Amino acid sequence: MLKNKRFFLLIALTLFLIYPSSTLSNLSAIDYLVNGKKELDSCNFVSAEKNLSKALLEMKEIGDYILLWRAKALLEMERYEEALKDLSEIKRNYPSSPILKNAKIYEINILKKLDSPHIESVYKSYTDEYPEDLEIKFNYAQYLKQTGQIQKAKRIFKEIFITASPLADKAELELSEEDISVDDLIRKAKALNSSFLYKKAEKYLNLALAKSKNKLQEIILWNLGYSIFMQKRYTESASIFKKIGDFYWYGRSLLRAKEFNSFEREIQNLIKSGDQKIGELLINYANIKRRNGDFYKAIEILKETLNKYPSYREEALWYLGWNNYLANYYTEAKSIFKDLFQKYGNLKYLYWFQRAQEKEGIIETKHYSFTFRPSDFYSYLLYVKGNISTIPKPEKVVENKTIPTRVKILMQANFIEEALREIKHLLKNNKDMANIPFYCMLLNGLGDYATSVRLISKFPYGFNYQELLYPKVYYEQINKFAKKLKLDPALVFAIIREESRFDRFAVSPAGALGLMQLMPNTAKREAKKISINLINDRDLFEAEKNIYIGSFYLSKLITEFDNIVFAIAAYNAGEAVVNSWIKENRYEGIDEFIEDIPYGETRAYVKRVLTSYFEYLRTYYTLTPDRIREIIKI
């Protein structure tokens, strides 16, 4: 099995191969390139231009980068015409360059300084090609406004206004109330909802309601109901959805508001609506009834769901079996689980069929003919039970392919950001799936673990590339704090992988930050206990601080619950809610607790983290049935 350091060694060895004479016969070209960029970043523009010009003579392979940097130096020295020539050369000789967009932005900036009569056509061409660049689009609108083209400017300001961009607020100031239609307000609110800015969306939807005069009211109200629902004001959202006759969202709001009596009264109306998604609500309500001890009613609802909602048949059958299992009706549960496994092949159904057998006192250690399924949580549980005989070691390694010349040069010059940009550009235009593992290896070696993990996870047989799928990065920090806090480092790796994919600048919609996705308030509270001073939230993007605080919090949860699984659940859902789940329900095994976690998101999260935990153990440490039993206590 390759170690991560061998990936770096592969890259290093490749870079030290003798380059073709047409590329780097004179090594001073690299020196000129590196020095030129260094001087540019230090604002020594005269020296930067001289070094970059010398580098360009021998490094045409990455001439677009050199020309762009030289154009920037020339721009700063107010040698505008020369800078424009460099940018024109990029467009002419490097038409598929990943930095073509940057060259066009520089061109706009120079033409503005020159007050060129061509600036308007260049602005238009750029915004047509890159409509997502709202900053340039805003500048274009300002230019049009300054040149008296008010209506054109307003059209562009309106295009920016209907987005969720921070520039949208500035664009709004350029528009009058009459300029903004009801449709504009609706589109604006939808964009805000999609960006999780629900309170702000509500504001614009209320404006749309006041302005609509019955036109588009149903659309406005639906989006308003959704905004309010996502703000957890469920009773209000229920009222709105009932008014417009959306029975699915009406019922969903009632359940979230815990208005179970109202939901019970409305069940027949929900069913009569004919909306197939009502099947989902009935399943959720059946689970609520069962958690409140009414197994009979839960089973009755699930049977009705089976009869009326065929698209929810598998899910309804699963919960019917699960309800029977928890009600100690093991024969019925076994029959359902067996049928589900035979029809759908999900190992979850086979596992719970075996557990139901155990409840009846039937112990079976049959080795099934199917093989271990990597990254399938239930494969590990069946392995413990003896139903799967072995967990094989992956054998494939990344092939030693030739690094693309442009990437190679940028890496040798230690231009990491540019090398990553180049690899992603190659991936965007890649037509050979077989290249994916090699590109992922390069991304991993250059520190873009998140993109590497995401890509290899989607790659067929990606599980054969374990050190890409489960990278062992930030090893020194993780190992140091795990040892200090008496944590298993494999568990910390698993948490980080599932929280952020090792992206230290990750930000969740809820505002969690960094590698271990810490909420700022929680991080500040825990940081004080270990004498870490967090000056501002951005400190949580520092790998060392984030890992220490997150590991400390995780170790505290493990101590508090005296159980790794409960701690993982609490890391996601919070300590109070996990304590309530433990107190309200009596489970005979941790596996039952995992399967019955009320929050679907947390249930999936716990399974993902445990799966990653097992994968890190089997890849870098030791994974045995006893170790899995120790973790899950089965």
Catalytic residue among 61, 418, 422, 499: 499
* 285-294: long-range pairs with CB below 8 Å, 24+: 285/255, 285/260, 286/319, 286/323, 287/319, 287/598, 288/255, 288/260, 290/323, 290/326, 291/584, 291/585, 291/598
| Sign of the dihedral through C-alpha 322, 324, 330, 332 | negative
Cβ(121)–Cβ(114) below 8 Å: no
How many residues in the chain? 634
Are 123 and 131 in contact by the 8 Å Cβ rule? The answer is no
DSSP 634: -
The answer to whether residue 575 is catalytic is no
Q: φ and ψ at 597, to 5 degrees?
A: -60, 125
3-class secondary structure, 513 = strand
Q: What's the distance, CA 465 to chain centroid?
A: 21
Residue 587, Cα to own-chain centre: how many angstroms?
A: 32
Tell me if residue 518 falls in helix, strand or coil. Answer: strand
User: Whole-angstrom Cα distance, residue 271 to residue 555?
Assistant: 47
CA max distance for the chain: 88
Structural contact between residues 202 and 227, judged by C-beta atoms closer than 8 angstroms: yes
How far is Cα 279 from Cα 205, in angstroms, rounded to an integer? Answer: 30
Helices (H), 327-359: 330-344, 347-359
Residue 77 contacts residue 49 (beta carbons within 8 Å): yes
Q: How far apart are CA 382 and CA 625, in angstroms?
A: 10
**Which one, of 479, 473, 494, 501, lies nearest residue 610 by Cα?**
494
Catalytic machinery residues: 499
